Chains A and B, each alone.
Chain A
Amino acid sequence: MGTHGKMIRTRDLNFLQRIYIPEILKGMSMTIAQLFKPKFTVQYPDERFAPEKSFRGRPVLVEENGVERCVACGLCSRVCPALAIEVQASETELEKERYPIKFEINMVRCIFCGFCEEVCPEEAIIMSDEYLLAFTSQEEAVFGKDRLLKSAEEMKGRLEWLRNHR
């Protein structure tokens, strides 16, 4: 058999080990010690967990001065391994020339990998800290621009984190 780990058989145990009481006490003392340490458990859904900025919640589109940063290049849609994103470009009078007339993410398809955020040349799609995603129908899970757009102000934390960690 293997060279690692010695097999312990019941008949090899000494008396103290055989009556289990010291071992039980050892375990209990560990449990009791934990009672006096700070708690990590969150009483979800009454309490909500606030993720770190590195957390990858559902993707959002960044809005700046009333327009989305997105130029509808379609790279996020291309890179998305789950094919969750559909972009339809159109022309705008703005300097950026191109904008998404339609931008949809199917949150049922999304696997929160963050590839879209990583590939985006405009820092227009980023991961948020939203993780509350429950739907009662397929259609409800398809987010259009109305539910995707978040102001750069609101997303400041994540944008800063990205700048420092990329």
Chain B
Amino acid sequence: MAKITIDGKEFDVDPKLTVIQAAAENGIEIPHFCWHPKLSVSGNCRMCLVEIEKMPKLAIACSTQVSDGMVVRTDSDRVVKARNAVMEFLLINHPLDCPICDEAGECKLQDYAYKYSIGESRFTEDKVHKPKRVELGPRVMLDDERCIMCSRCIRFADEVAHQPALTFTERGTHVVLTTFPGQQFDSPYSMNVIDLCPVGALTSRDFRFKSRVWEMSSTDSVCIGCARGCNTQVWVRNNEILRLTPKQNDEVNGPWMCDHGRLDSFRHVNSDARLNGPLLRKDNAFVEVGWDEALSRIVSELRTYRKNEIAAIGSPYATNEDNYIFAKFMRDVVGAKHFALAEHVKPGDQDELLIRADKTPNAAGAQLMGFATHALAPMLEGIKNGAIKALYVLEDNIAADPAVADILAELDLLIVHSCVRNETTELAHVVLSSATFAEKNGTYTNFLGRVQRIRPAVTTVDSERTLDGFSMSRWDKFAAHNDRWGKGPRRDARSSWRIIAAVSGVMGTKMKYAASDEIFKELAEKIPAFRGLSYLKLGSTGATTSAGAPAAVPTPAHS
């Protein structure tokens, strides 16, 4: 251990650390642009200059290793002056773009200009002009004038995405960031450079100009794009998801997420195909009905079958809580004999960084609740030969596979939970509109057995932003009933466990849960792998089941 003093306070730190790391570990932020904890040190922005005793010149904290007895000052007059000078240089050619720049409000340059710059420029000449609206790749847009040449994006492309497509050309103030000739930056992780870029030089072509960041609320959640379960923040305005950004969790995704997860995993929440309340098939057409009618229809229909004629398919998209209640209901209340789970594996679509071939967020959890993937083929066989006549499917579009669709057409009764209209709901006799990941509380278990919380960010007909403790934007807080903003579509959709508990109630077996944490408490007692876990224990980064990575979870090798 090395003893160092930062701004008069003594700390014992690992001698392998740099000054900026040692300070960060002890809660002191040394301002910086180019340094990033997950990238190599480049030391080109000069913002992290600090004064170190016995060193004649100011030193950059990002590349100076600590040593025993080192005395560092981050707030001396010399440091403050040097920082202001760095800011002044950076701002010489930086355009006055804040009003049109998407980064405004979460921009390091803007923040530091308030904190570390006296706010006066002595530069009266013309600023250098560079290309704007440059398409770096299919998902990332570059504005070269805004670039402060920190090289974070270049290092990310090299070191993390392993697609070294970016580079600087020219010299001095004329430096431009560009892709190598004939290349584009289209790595499956390309959009992480948008978060990395300390300024608004790199923006998302999808989110561009959609909203100012201060107009949205953000809610901690988990990506449902694959079995990794990257931690995310869901950004909502007018009850509509506008973007996802990664949230750092070093046990799961570090600070990154993939472009597919970022762009495609929330579209269905806002989609026109959303269901809005239960549907019943009457004379071969769907009619919208109330919940009571749909539930009593399910109960009266289910009662007409023998127990071994009834089957249940759990869902790798539904939460642990939903699957637990579903299994409990089908087993203990209905007495069904067949339980299975469908796989959604894209062989080969997997890499060393994040992306998993299993494209569902909770296959591991659903299996721990008693739904086995190997039971699916025999179940479909049973439907085909008429042994199984009724099937209850939880949140899974299994009929997307035409072969499965043909088999499901044989059923006398098909009950489906779904948030959108799809191939499976088209075949169903009863469709129950279920809430999406962004509209409910619950947990997912990722492929490593890590259990992580999701939280509601979008309101349904049943939920209320203020009363149910959602995170709120300023508009959400102050919108009056007659304001047009602060609203947006709300659907009549419910968490699957709530729907099932209600069906159970109609069947005469009451399931009394006020909220999903009560279910989690119960399943933590009943399912050995979850023993000892609670929402409190999961906290903001999750916790691992005692089962760890369940062996049965499909994890085909990288090919």
- Known contacts: A72-B209, A98-B209. The answer to whether A122 contacts B99 by CB under 8 A is yes
- Known contacts: A89-B210, A97-B132. The answer to whether A142 contacts B484 by CB under 8 A is yes
B36 at the interface (CB under 8 A from A): no
B41 nearest CB across to chain A (Å): 34
Partner of A104, one of B210, B215, B478, B484: B484
- Known contacts: A72-B209, A98-B100, A98-B209. The answer to whether A86 contacts B133 by CB under 8 A is no
A98 and B99 CA atoms in complex are apart in Å by 9
With both beta carbons as reference points, the residue of chain B lying nearest to A83 in the complex is identified as B478
B214–A78 CB distance below 8 A? yes
A27 and B484 CA atoms in complex are apart in Å by 56
| Residues of chain B in range 94-115 having any CB-CB distance to chain A below 8 Å | 98-100, 104
A160 and B11 CA atoms in complex are apart in Å by 60
B212–A96 CB distance below 8 A? no
With both beta carbons as reference points, the residue of chain A lying nearest to B133 in the complex is identified as A97
A106: chain B residues at CB < 8 Å are 483
A96: chain B residues at CB < 8 Å are 100
A54 at the interface (CB under 8 A from B): no
A155 nearest CB across to chain B (Å): 20
A79 nearest CB across to chain B (Å): 11
Q: Which of A86, A121, A142 has the most CB of B within 10 A?
A: A86
With both beta carbons as reference points, the residue of chain B lying nearest to A90 in the complex is identified as B209
B202-213 near A? 1/0 per residue, CB < 8 Å = 000000111110
| Residues of chain A in range 71-94 having any CB-CB distance to chain B below 8 Å | 71-75, 77-78, 83, 86, 89-91
A89 and B207 CA atoms in complex are apart in Å by 11
With both beta carbons as reference points, the residue of chain B lying nearest to A89 in the complex is identified as B209
B271 at the interface (CB under 8 A from A): no
Q: What total count of A-B pairs have CB within 8 Å?
A: 44
A138 at the interface (CB under 8 A from B): yes
Partner of A91, one of B98, B104, B209: B209
A83–B475 CB distance below 8 A? yes
Partner of B212, one of A78, A104, A121, A122: A78
Bin the interface of chain A by size.
20 to 34
With both beta carbons as reference points, the residue of chain B lying nearest to A92 in the complex is identified as B209
With both beta carbons as reference points, the residue of chain A lying nearest to B475 in the complex is identified as A83
With both beta carbons as reference points, the residue of chain B lying nearest to A78 in the complex is identified as B214
Partner of A138, one of B100, B212, B215, B482: B482
A142: chain B residues at CB < 8 Å are 484
A161 nearest CB across to chain B (Å): 23
B99–A121 CB distance below 8 A? yes
B214: chain A residues at CB < 8 Å are 78
- The interface on chain B, measured as residues whose beta carbon lies within 8 A of the other chain's beta carbons, has a size of 21
A71: chain B residues at CB < 8 Å are 99-100
With both beta carbons as reference points, the residue of chain A lying nearest to B211 in the complex is identified as A89
B482–A73 CB distance below 8 A? no
- Known contacts: A71-B100, A98-B100. The answer to whether A86 contacts B209 by CB under 8 A is no
B168 at the interface (CB under 8 A from A): no
B123 at the interface (CB under 8 A from A): no
B485 at the interface (CB under 8 A from A): yes
A121: chain B residues at CB < 8 Å are 98-99
B484: chain A residues at CB < 8 Å are 86, 104, 142
A86–B485 CB distance below 8 A? yes
| Residues of chain B in range 211-241 having any CB-CB distance to chain A below 8 Å | 211-212, 214-215
B485: chain A residues at CB < 8 Å are 86
A138: chain B residues at CB < 8 Å are 482
| Residues of chain B in range 361-411 having any CB-CB distance to chain A below 8 Å | none
B215: chain A residues at CB < 8 Å are 74, 77
A141 nearest CB across to chain B (Å): 10
A75 and B104 CA atoms in complex are apart in Å by 11
A90: chain B residues at CB < 8 Å are 209
With both beta carbons as reference points, the residue of chain A lying nearest to B478 in the complex is identified as A83
A74: chain B residues at CB < 8 Å are 212, 215
A86: chain B residues at CB < 8 Å are 484-485
B465-500 near A? 1/0 per residue, CB < 8 Å = 000000000110011001111000000000000000
B residues whose Cβ falls under 8 Å from a Cβ of A: 98-100, 104, 132-133, 208-212, 214-215, 474-475, 478-479, 482-485
In order of increasing CB-CB distance, the 8 nearest A-B pairs are A73-B99, A98-B100, A74-B212, A89-B209, A121-B99, A86-B485, A71-B100, A138-B482
A residues whose Cβ falls under 8 Å from a Cβ of B: 71-75, 77-78, 83, 86, 89-91, 96-98, 104, 106, 109, 121-122, 138, 142
Could you give 10 example pairs across A and B, Cβ below 8 Å?
A: A71-B100, A73-B212, A78-B214, A83-B475, A83-B483, A86-B485, A96-B100, A97-B133, A98-B100, A142-B484
Given A78-B214, A83-B475, 8 extra CB contacts under 8 A: A73-B100, A73-B104, A73-B212, A74-B212, A90-B209, A91-B208, A104-B484, A122-B99
